[in-house]
Amino acid sequence: MNRRDFLVRASTLALGGLLPAGCAIAPKTGPSGGSTAGQTVVLIELNGGNDGLNTVVPYADPKYYELRPKLAVAKTDVLRLNDTLGFNPALKALQPVWDKGELAVVLGTGYPQPNRSHFRSIEIWDTGSNSDEFADEGWLARYFALRRLSRPSAAADGVVFGRPYVGPMLGTNARVIVLDDPATFARQAKQVQMPGGVGANPALQHVMRVQAEAKAAGADIEKNLARMNLKTEFPRSGIGGQMRNAARLVASGLDIPVIKVSQGGFDNHSFQRATHDRLLREVAESMTAFRLAMIESGMWDRVLIMTYSEFGRRPAENRSEGTDHGTAAPHFIMAPRIKGGFHGRQPALDDLADGDLKHTVDFRSVYATVLNRWWGVASAPVLGRAHAEIGFLA
């Protein structure tokens, strides 16, 4: 089957009555079509606060080894990327992509007056607000509202795999499909009709009906995705499964601007090292597999992957071989037409604020770059103010 056949088949499958009325589907014309339509961003949320210093390791800085007597990645283990920085070996899978120049690492990403509460800080990241502002809508929900003016035909604004939280896509009019556990959904749908029991509780029935409504489109998508075969193997981890679904969704040709997946477990206050390495490895391997699947389906030039997390962690390890909530951290962006390598500046370990890293790049600069360069929309109206771009996209 050639790519063209694949696309035709994919959109037929996808059209099988799966979308709410009014959501027409715009099959893509293919990468050479020249249109910037259908540029998808795959967000990988690292729940709990990823430890940046053990992700991209400042191996040449003796201060790092002083701060991390037990947790540090040994100099000899680091996958060196330049004279000062290198990957945790758990990120080995990313090395070839880095070498190809398709991976950018934005160093020291954070924001002023950092908040160290999980839920407040992720809210700041999700809404793109200042530390002392409370915003109603996610930054992507605001983008969707603008986007719809010029592209009313998108299948859905966003799809969420994994933990069922829409995060940056939260907004009154955002059409977001949450695909948590399809088996669960089927079971619920059955119980809605069940006489007695739940049936005798009209209010609970209402809640279930609403939940079913919210998921109906999702169940259909899920069904169709299961039929879409990609040869690329994905790691058998939670995030691997989510990225596999994301790959099928993009390969199906549906015009969906944002797909969000998540990897939990980064909040490691004790005995961090083994857990953290495993989480990183799963993320790295899933990202790489996703890229290969995109190449396989001819969609790689339409996709950008980026990671985010509520905060990094304290440079100094704590007394239980873990790390506490911190501030800035590096984030990854993987895409075909990208300026690979490091962007921004690694925060200095001998110039801490209150024991924490000083951020060197505002996270909204990452958003601004993606909005301006990947989607080609002016970022200021979406983010509420202008932010400097970072040069990872031309």
Say how many residues touch another protein, by CB under 8 A. Answer: 55
Regarding 29 and contact with another protein (CB under 8 A), the answer is: no
Q: Which residue lies nearer to another protein by CB, 324 or 389?
A: 324
Q: Which residue lies nearer to another protein by CB, 28 or 260?
A: 260
Regarding 285 and contact with another protein (CB under 8 A), the answer is: no
Q: Which one-letter amino acid corresponds to residue 196?
A: G
Q: Which of residues 216-255 bind another protein (CB under 8 A)?
A: none
**DSSP β-ladder status, 258-263 and 40-46:** parallel
- Among the listed residues 6, 7, 28, 47, the single contact to another protein using CB under 8 A: 47
Candidates 54-62, 183-191, 342-350, 372-380; binding stretch for another protein (CB under 8 A): 183-191
The phi-psi region of residue 197 (left if phi > 0; otherwise alpha if psi is between -120 and 50; otherwise beta) is: left
| Per-residue mark of binding to another protein, 370-389 (x: CB under 8 A) | --------------------
- Among the listed residues 13, 60, 145, 208, the single contact to another protein using CB under 8 A: 208
Which helix or strand (DSSP H or E) is residue 260 part of?
strand 258-263
Q: Is 188 exposed, middle or buried (0-12, 13-18, 19+ CB in 10 A)?
A: middle
- Among the listed residues 22, 202, 351, 376, the single contact to another protein using CB under 8 A: 202
Supply the DSSP symbol for 11.
H
Instruction: Phi first, then psi: give them for residue 211, nearest 5 degrees.
Output: -65, -40
Candidates 151-159, 175-183, 363-371, 379-387; binding stretch for another protein (CB under 8 A): 175-183
Q: Are 43 and 308 in contact (CB under 8 A)?
A: yes
Regarding 40 and contact with another protein (CB under 8 A), the answer is: no
Candidates 52-60, 226-234, 319-327, 359-367; binding stretch for another protein (CB under 8 A): 319-327
| Per-residue mark of binding to another protein, 326-355 (x: CB under 8 A) | ----------------------------xx
- Among the listed residues 4, 63, 120, 278, the single contact to another protein using CB under 8 A: 120
CA 226 to chain centre: 22
Q: Which residue lies nearer to another protein by CB, 311 or 392?
A: 311
- Among the listed residues 167, 218, 312, 340, the single contact to another protein using CB under 8 A: 167
Instruction: Phi first, then psi: give them for residue 303, nearest 5 degrees.
Output: -125, 140
Instruction: Phi first, then psi: give them for residue 381, nearest 5 degrees.
Output: -65, -30
Regarding 119 and contact with another protein (CB under 8 A), the answer is: yes
Instruction: Phi first, then psi: give them for residue 40, nearest 5 degrees.
Output: -100, 145
CA 160 to chain centre: 10
**DSSP β-ladder status, 258-263 and 158-160:** parallel
- Among the listed residues 30, 164, 241, 341, the single contact to another protein using CB under 8 A: 164
Q: What angle do CA 373, 91, 346 make, to 5 degrees?
A: 60
Q: CA–CA separation, 144 vs 161, rounded Å?
A: 19
Widest Cα–Cα separation across the chain: 69
Regarding 275 and contact with another protein (CB under 8 A), the answer is: no
Regarding 356 and contact with another protein (CB under 8 A), the answer is: yes
Regarding 50 and contact with another protein (CB under 8 A), the answer is: no
**Other beta carbons less than 10 A from residue 302's beta carbon:** 21
CB of residue 45 to another protein, shortest distance in Å: 11
Supply the DSSP symbol for 313.
B
Candidates 25-33, 109-117, 239-247, 383-391; binding stretch for another protein (CB under 8 A): 109-117
Q: Which one-letter amino acid corresponds to residue 161?
A: F
Regarding 70 and contact with another protein (CB under 8 A), the answer is: no
Q: Which residue lies nearer to another protein by CB, 176 or 247?
A: 176
Q: Which residue lies nearer to another protein by CB, 116 or 151?
A: 116
For the chain, how far is it from start to end, CA to CA, in angstroms?
A: 34
Regarding 184 and contact with another protein (CB under 8 A), the answer is: yes
3 state DSSP class of 229: coil
3 state DSSP class of 262: strand
Length of the chain: 394
Interface residues with another protein (CB under 8 A) are 47-49, 115-120, 122-123, 134, 136, 163-167, 170, 172, 176, 178, 180, 183-184, 187-188, 191, 198, 200-204, 206-208, 210-211, 213-214, 267-270, 310, 314, 316, 318-319, 324-325, 354-356
